[in-house]
Structure 1
Amino acid sequence: MDHGLDRKRTNKRIFRKNKKFFLWQIFTIVNLRNSMKLLAIELPGPKLIDSGVYDDRRGSFCTVYSEDDYFELGIETKFCQDSYSISCRSTIRGLHYQNPFAQGKIVTVLRGKIWDVILDIRTDSINFARWTGIFLSANSGQHLWIPPGFAHGFQVVSNEDAIVAYKLTEHRHAPSEGIISWNDAALGIDWPIKNPILSERDSAAHDLENALNLPRN
């Protein structure tokens, strides 16, 4: 018996059976590059990026950051740190900022769903004190670019814990950290879940009017 011939026939049968799947994989690999696009966002400065999620019978794949693609979208910056947080339902983190050593960040949800809030705190900006909120989830394939000069916070709205990843342009510098109160009446942020879980530090945050070390554009 020619075992080599049998193997060839077996391989041909496997290929015919999985031909569509193999071709789909090739198509996916080719299209992973240059697949990122910008989605509309109300607040000038930050960017909502859709890189797409590629699903098959194994699971899914998503590109969070590609230097070339981000450069094409106008985000020409270097990153120095990657971090993540795990938070339970109703938790609010924020609104955080750092000045000096202001941080730009890419925010991505790896599990769960959050309502993400971005606040312009640049004192010389025409959009000072203006904010926007965006839902982000693990299966959306969307990421937020938040440039320096903005405060950031989010609330977990999923029943499962949310894992949120941050790609940062500056390291943490504790003396430069600031927090804007999540329930500043002048801002009127309409958080989805009332009576949130907060850290002691976030609970003691100042309103924007009394915040310290606010940046300029």
Structure 2
Amino acid sequence: MPYTATRTAIPDVLMLEPRVFEDDRGFFFESFNARDFRAATGLDATFVQDNHSRSGPGVLRGMHYQVDHAQGKLVRVVRGSVFDAVVDLRRSSPTFGRWVGAVLSAENRRQIWVPPGFAHGFVVLGDEAAECLYKTTDYWYPEHERCLLWNDPAVGIAWPVDGVPAMAAKDAAGRTLDAADLFD
């Protein structure tokens, strides 16, 4: 199997660890294989879009989600390092309003599965820019995009930052959990 999947404190959010083949020439690993993803996770996800972002040191992106056309995301980092955070926005979920976070880096090669119905974001760690690649299960629809406030005290994400990180105006103006558009 090219990778293993481990449930996080929010069981629907999964960490995937690749099987890496390394020697003095470099390394090789399968970053995605539909058959093995299904076997490792029990999910039959169909990915329709691949995204690539580059963010400078100290940049925070998020917490993004779409209310219609909710996206599942499989996220990994190919340059640098990020602290990746996921918040459950499903009102009927026993983990509603809770978050999990993990460091994803080019070095550890870990991936995180963000199910539909969750807000997702990350902050770049260290002095190097970070590049993230992520697959999505639905297309981006700007009219359905929403943003949960990155530092909402009701959620309490423990971002590993000092002060306010650099971010887009739309991210700085995100809604708090009690005012956000949510999922059933």
TM-score range, shorter chain: over 0.9
For 1:49-88, list aligned pairs within 5 A: 49-73=16-40, 74-88=42-56
SS of corresponding position for 1:122: coil
The counterpart of 1:162, out of the listed 130, 136, 140, is 130
Assess if the C-alpha contact under 8 Å between 1:47 and 1:145 holds in 2: yes
1:113 and 2:81 equivalent? yes
Distance 2:126 2:57 in 1: 6
CA contact (8 A) 2:88 2:118 kept: yes
**Residue aligning to 1:146:** 114
Change (3 A) 1:52 1:158: farther
User: In 1, distance between residues paired with 2:121 and 2:2?
Assistant: 28
- Measured in 1, the distance between the counterparts of 2:17 and 2:135 equals 16
Residue pair 1:96, 1:180 contacting (<8 A) in 2 also: yes
- Partner Cα separation in structure 1 for residue 71 and residue 156 of structure 2: 25
Q: Write the letter of the residue equivalent to 1:127.
A: T
Tell me which of 169, 173, 178 is aligned to 1:200: 169
Instruction: Please state how far the C-alpha of 1:175 moved relative to its aligned partner.
Output: 1.3
CA distance in 1, matches of 2:50, 2:2: 23
Cα shift at 1:143: 0.7
Following the alignment from structure 1 to structure 2, what is the Cα–Cα distance between the partners of residues 193 and 55? 33
Measured after TM superposition, the shift of residue 61 of structure 1 is: 1.8
Q: 2:5 aligns with which of 38, 62, 82?
A: 38
1:210 maps to what in 2?
179
* Percent of pairs with identical residues: 37
Confirm or deny: 8 A CA contact 2:2 2:29 kept in the other structure.
no
SS class of match (1:50)? strand
Q: Between Structure 1 and Structure 2, how many residues are aligned?
A: 182
Task: Please list the CA deviations of residues 124-178 of structure 1 after superposition, one character each: whole Å capped at 9, or x if unmatched.
Answer: 1111001011111112131111110111011110321000001011000111111
Structure 2 spans left out of the alignment, 5+ residues:
none
Structure 2 contact 51–135 (Cα < 8 Å) conserved: yes
Q: C-alpha distance in 1, partners of 2:38/2:65?
A: 24
How far is 1:40 from its partner? 4.4
My pick for the range that moved more, 116-125 or 185-194, is: 185-194
**Which amino acid is 1:137 matched to?**
S
Aligned-partner Cα distance in 1 for 2:6–2:109: 12
TM, length-normalised to structure 2? 0.95
